[in-house]
A and B are shown apart, each in its own frame.
Chain A
Amino acid sequence: MASFLDSIGYNGWVLPALLVIPLVGAIVVLLLPAREPADGTAGVESPAARQVAFWFFVLEFIVSLGLWWSYNPADRGWQASIDISWIPSWGVRFTLGIDGIALMMVLLTTFIMPLSTLGSWTNIRTKVRSYYALLLILSSGMIGVFLARDLFLFYVMWEVMLVPMYFIIGIWGGERRIYASIKFFLYTFLPSLLMLVAIIYLGLHLRGAGGVPDFSYDHLLAANTAVPQRTALWLFSAFFLAFAVKVPMFPFHTWLPDAHVEAPTAGSVILAGIMLKMGTFGFLRFGLPLFPGAALNPTVRMIILVLAVIGIIYGALVAMVQPDFKKLVAYSSVSHLGFVMLGIFALTLQSVQGALMVMINHGISTGALFLLVGIIYERRHSRLIDAYGGIARVVPMFAAVLTFVSLSSIGLPGTNGFVGEFLVLVGAFRTYPVLAVISTTGVIFAAVYLLWALQRILFNPLDKPENTHIPDLNRRELAMLVPLIAVIVWLGIYPAPVLRRMETSAQLLVDRVQAGTSAPRVSEAAP
């Protein structure tokens, strides 16, 4: 496989191609003629749009899949890099590259996107072309965030990703979509502006050769010791806010339940599956390596860790009392992402690898849960847990899949969920035993909120007449769920190939950050 990829010069063009393919797709979708709903398309206008979008996403996935083989885990540097001068006067370059962490995030993205397209198939019926065009643009933006090796480029991609999601929630969302979309936009946009200021400061302050501002990640990484400690703390705070909102960390999480609940199915899937990873990815890529002294300042670190642990428990407890199943899943994300933050800031190889696994697993399992919520909502037009009860008898396949995915979400060993949580906790225990033990109680609460909801939806008496005629999963829904189930099993039983591909990068990160905290720094008094 690797030699075939070499023969087509795969590494030379793959990363820009991943950014361009969805954009081309978006243009093609927009150029499609507007069509009234035809027979057999379930009242969906311009049904060709979804076909085009789906196949572009499949193409994107196939192209990205080569990275799995072309990526060399032994190589500590950037791979498949490209570097083009972009805005020379500002020192901004169009620089892309992947390491083991970005590799898995990109693959997660390209894997989720076609499935979420299938999840939109019949429930997006109006403005169909715009919807799929936005989905495609969004995909480019997200992949750009993972690939960017220039902080300015990173910021651009960060914002490119924000806008389509704003529309997806605001136009195709539920009843309170306007409130939710504006809340989402402001909540994530304002801290991002602070981050922009910090990025500009870094670029201007740590000028490269010839006095030109330099936003290149590698340059800033090498030069960051020139930032005074106090300034580094401020800069870190700006990055922290931008990322903490995206994660979302307690107490910056309240946009999430609203956004999730109001977003259409694919919006929720992408939000949970991919966009929540932007925050934790940001900490791994930028927050920690650029400001190791600030991030690992004992007080700062303890505050972040405690917030992470609160998030784990708080998210689970609040999820438990939600009457709305979609909101329950949304709050469960707060809990899961708390594990990720704990793993990152506990900063052992196991905990960081575990955090990365939880990021992937959460994308798969919570993505699948949102698809399932969408499936049942499409049939009964209710997300309330109390509207159901006993339907396992009516929809046995749906019940089997929902049960299975829930078990993966609560971290049953043998499924993906366990691997991530176990690694986070076993690693975190080495540095923060008390916090790790407290967090471990999260596994109890997870079982409570998810299995209790499961019981009230699938089990108990089938006592509502409107539930007796719910159709079971159809072919398309099975086609989008089966790959997710397969990945849940694969990552639960044989995660070693994934872990190996990430290990070098995770180790590099741990070493770099730990070395960074002990490196000599310019004192406050120095000019």
Chain B
Amino acid sequence: MLLQAVAAAGAQTHPLSGTIAEWVWLLPLLPLLGFLINGLLSLSSAHLGPADPSATAHDEPSEGAAEASVVTHGEESGAGGDDHHAVKRHRWAGLTSIVGPGVLIIAFGLAVAIWQTMVSAHPDAPFIQRYFSWMPVGDLQIDAAIQLDQLSMVMVLVVTGVGALIHIFSVGYMRDDPGYPRYFSYLNLFVFFMLVLVLGANYPVLFVGWEGVGLSSYLLIGFWFNDKQNADAGLKAFIVNRIGDFGFLVAMFMLFANIGVLDFVGVNAKALDLGAGSALVTTICLFIFLGCTGKSAQIPLYIWLPDAMAGPTPVSALIHAATMVTAGVYLIARSAALFSLSPVASLTVAVVGAVTAIFAATIGLKQWDIKKVLAYSTISQLGYMFVGVGVGAYVSGMFHLVTHAFFKALLFLGSGSVIQAMHNAYHATHSTDDAQDMRNMGGLRRYLPVTFVLMWIATLAISGIPPLSGFFSKDEILGSVFARAHGSSLATATWLGIPGGTLLYIIYGIGLAAAFLTAVYMTRMMLYTFHGPTRTGAEEEKYLGEAPWVMTGPLVILGILTVIGGWLNLPKVVTDIVPLGPGELFGHFLDPVVGSATARITAGATEVAPTTEEALIGAAVIIAVVGIIVAVARLKPANVPRAKDAIPETGFEGVVAHKYYVDEALDRTVVEPTYVVSRSFLWRFVDNGVIDGLFVNGSAALARTFGWIGSRLQTGNTGIYAWSLVVGVLLLLGVITLR
């Protein structure tokens, strides 16, 4: 293939050249192919309009039009807002079920093969395939190129692996949806853009994926678009993300203006030219981070993620928990060379992450919608990841990204099983009750035993109970914060007048507090959903039941990963005591990419004594256990009223339940004023009033006064004037030319 020939020439000496890694271009291409096939299948039921469209508009619809509308109605009817109304399956559903997940499974297989090659070759430099010149303008040379290194490898494995599981789950979950091929085409499109994001060899190509996943997210949040709430949520997600993208763009402009390159290899090589600790590098990093707060739902741009739960639940699992929202963490790890030069920007990342972690956790305490709890939990956990990459613990941040992908995907898919069971029950009894409100659940362990067990495993993992994966990854982040509070480049810097060391201790404290709240709100969710009496309704209970294996199968695999994920990166202090195998595998794997940046931050940091480290781990575990115990002791599922009988909460609890009224405040202070000013002042006053009214029509009126005199001599038919102008000019030119 041509692409390969070109690419091979550029990467002759790399240890991965000539291996299966040469096929890396196939990774994004496969889901793109899936998108095209499923997209065409989706449009295949559309009907061409008549040759003369306007004729049908006045009169009765023509035969063809009537037929079209009837068919399209059957097509999408019932997709009016929420999950699963049993209607006739889409005619191409069978083919879609093969193509949609199929491309992901193949891609995952390829990714595993490449990963194995990479583990044995252990390349120190990224493997770069250059395909063609994308934007060559003078000294700006941007190539369409892919970069494969350990960092992108981790992301590729998560995206294709977890992605494949969620695609398979979707086969069951979306089974009866009339928009079945459309759903899979969007989902494939998402994976395509996500792979472009993690494989791009320069910032602009990464940005293609970055905005592309935003687009897929927009399309999938508003998948059931005939419900205004869903369409609103999609729009909000896209616009809030664009605010972040603005920052990303400016960061790219600054990089190009100052070091003249935008590819990762070039930026890493020239980063020092920006000056360690300079205001310039800090500004660049902060603009990059603005982009991250949008994509990864951190303060202040987190507001879109809870609304994004309007999308189908597998979408929430894949895009809004496991992969897309972690892109910000990836971007910072990818830009580690820049961030490690700016302690101020790094500390900002850590502070924002910590504040987001605890802020979102408090909101999670008061949500009743099961998906909203998980949404705020995701925001909170993303905060942890930012704390990790913010303090220069890039490995820990990425490690938490991976384990979080396992247990949060499990939690979301589990909630999907729950919601589907609830929905089927309510659908069977024609009830209009909310299938996602935990106040309508309770006691579901009797009906969904597999889901029940698996979700408890994930809950314990996210709470930080050993030896589950979340325990290791969260603990490593907190441990790194603690370790860097002494002697690292962060500890010696000051942030808004606060000494970095002090700040890191504060962040550590916040992290522990958030861990406590995590344990509480997750236990609360489990108690209200699965324990106590069933509040679903007597008639409805007959219809509750476990999901088919195509859905529980992926859950089981994710459950296993949740349990054993911690083995990826066992801390030294653990392997010293318990011989569980080699420690810090993940850290060694990522070392070629982020090692030097980490070293730049930790240079001078004092080692934490093993006893202190053991004490810290002990404290974290105790806090998690206490959180669970407090929740079990304080919350009584038996006392929860059904959703329709609930009384609204008041006081501070009400404020929290309303998410601190942030959305409302933004509406009042930003959205509405912008609209009113644009409409009343800019359009009506400036455009219509001043420019058009005063100047244009004013001068026209002046001219008319003169014209009135002239009109005495003329007929006033402008058409005749203009025609005579054309004829006159043409004649004149003709005469002159021929003369």
Which residues from chain A sit less than 8 Å from chain B, CB to CB?
42-43, 86-87, 94, 122-123, 137, 156, 159-160, 163-164, 166-167, 170-171, 182-183, 185-187, 251, 254-255, 314, 317-318, 320-322, 349-350, 353-354, 375, 378-381, 390, 392-397, 400, 407, 412-414, 418-419, 422-423, 425-427, 429-430, 433, 436-437, 440-441, 443-444, 447-448, 451-452, 455, 458-462, 468-478, 493-496, 499-500, 503, 507
Contacts and interface: CB of A to CB of B under 8 A. Distances in A.
Interface stretch (B364-372, B474-482, B629-637, B722-730): B722-730
B679 A321 contact: yes
B134 A494 contact: yes
A86 B682 CA distance: 49
20 contacts: A123-B54, A171-B719, A254-B692, A321-B675, A321-B683, A354-B137, A380-B57, A393-B76, A395-B72, A396-B46, A413-B207, A425-B253, A427-B140, A451-B238, A452-B235, A461-B80, A478-B48, A493-B134, A494-B134, A500-B136
A317 B51 contact: no
B50 to A, nearest CB: 6
A473 B48 contact: yes
Contact of B226 (A171, A354, A378, A461): A461
A84 to B, nearest CB: 9
A417 B526 CA distance: 47
Interface of B: 39, 42-43, 45-58, 61-62, 64-66, 68-69, 72-73, 75-76, 80, 132-140, 144, 204, 207-208, 210-212, 215, 218, 222, 225-228, 231-232, 234-235, 238-239, 242-243, 245-246, 249-250, 252-254, 256-257, 674-675, 677-679, 682-683, 686-687, 691-692, 695-696, 700, 703, 718-719, 722, 725-726, 729, 733, 736-737
B225 A413 contact: no
A159 B729 contact: yes
Contact of A425 (B73, B243, B249): B249
A493 B39 CA distance: 20
Contacts of B246: 440-441, 443-444
Contact of B726 (A163, A349, A444): A163
A393 B696 contact: no
Nearest to B75: A393
Nearest to A467: B69
A414 B43 contact: no
Nearest to A475: B48
A452 to B, nearest CB: 6
Interface-central residue, A419, A448, A476, by most chain B CB under 10 Å: A448
Contacts of A94: 737
A419 B135 contact: yes
A-B pairs, top 3 by smallest CB distance, nearest first, are: A471-B49, A42-B52, A459-B225
Given A394-B68, A472-B47, 8 more contacts: A123-B54, A318-B687, A379-B56, A443-B246, A447-B239, A470-B57, A471-B56, A496-B132
A395 B48 CA distance: 9
Contacts of A400: 39, 43
A412 B53 contact: no
Nearest to B690: A251
Nearest to B79: A393
A347 to B, nearest CB: 13
A397 B57 contact: no
A496 B136 contact: yes
Contact of B57 (A187, A381, A433): A381
Given A390-B226, A500-B136, A163 B725 contact: yes
Contacts of A251: 691, 695
Given A393-B75, A461-B226, A469 B53 contact: no
A182 B717 CA distance: 12
A474 B718 contact: no
Interface-central residue, B42, B211, B692, B733, by most chain A CB under 10 Å: B211
A509 B464 CA distance: 63
B60 to A, nearest CB: 9
A186 B215 CA distance: 43
Contacts of B75: 393
Given A396-B72, A443-B242, A459-B222, A426 B46 contact: no
B737 A471 contact: no
Contact of A350 (B47, B137, B692): B137
B353 to A, nearest CB: 24
B65 A471 contact: yes
B250 A43 contact: no
B54 A474 contact: no
Contacts of A167: 719, 722
B637 to A, nearest CB: 37
Nearest to A375: B53
B137 A471 contact: no
Contacts of B72: 393-396
Contact of A503 (B45, B137, B144): B137
Nearest to B193: A414
A244 to B, nearest CB: 13
Interface-central residue, B39, B246, B253, B737, by most chain A CB under 10 Å: B253
A499 B55 contact: no
Nearest to B76: A393
B212 A414 contact: yes
B729 A436 contact: no
B722 A166 contact: yes
B90 to A, nearest CB: 13
A64 B729 CA distance: 26
B141 to A, nearest CB: 10
Nearest to B253: A429
B667 to A, nearest CB: 14
B53 A378 contact: yes
B238 A447 contact: yes
A471 B239 contact: no
A462 B226 contact: yes
Contact of B43 (A396, A418, A427, A496): A396
A444 B239 contact: yes
Interface-central residue, A183, A322, A469, by most chain B CB under 10 Å: A469
A110 to B, nearest CB: 22
A318 B686 CA distance: 10
Contacts of B61: 469, 471
B48 A472 contact: yes
Contacts of B204: 413, 422
A183 B54 CA distance: 29
B211 A413 contact: yes
A392 B73 CA distance: 11
Contacts of A413: 204, 207-208, 210-212
Nearest to A182: B718
Contacts of A472: 46-49, 68
Contacts of A455: 222, 231-232, 234-235
A444 B132 contact: no
A443 B683 CA distance: 20
A160 B730 CA distance: 9
Contacts of B719: 167, 170-171
A475 B678 contact: no
Contact of B249 (A440, A471, A477): A440
B683 A318 contact: yes
A393 B134 contact: no
A499 B132 CA distance: 13
B43 A440 contact: no
Nearest to A461: B226
A507 B136 CA distance: 13
A455 B222 CA distance: 10
A159 B257 CA distance: 42
A221 B554 CA distance: 71
A295 B495 CA distance: 45
Contacts of B136: 496, 499-500
A337 to B, nearest CB: 16
A458 B225 contact: yes
B238 A317 contact: no
A413 B48 CA distance: 30
Contacts of A396: 42-43, 45-46, 72
B711 to A, nearest CB: 14
B682 A317 contact: yes
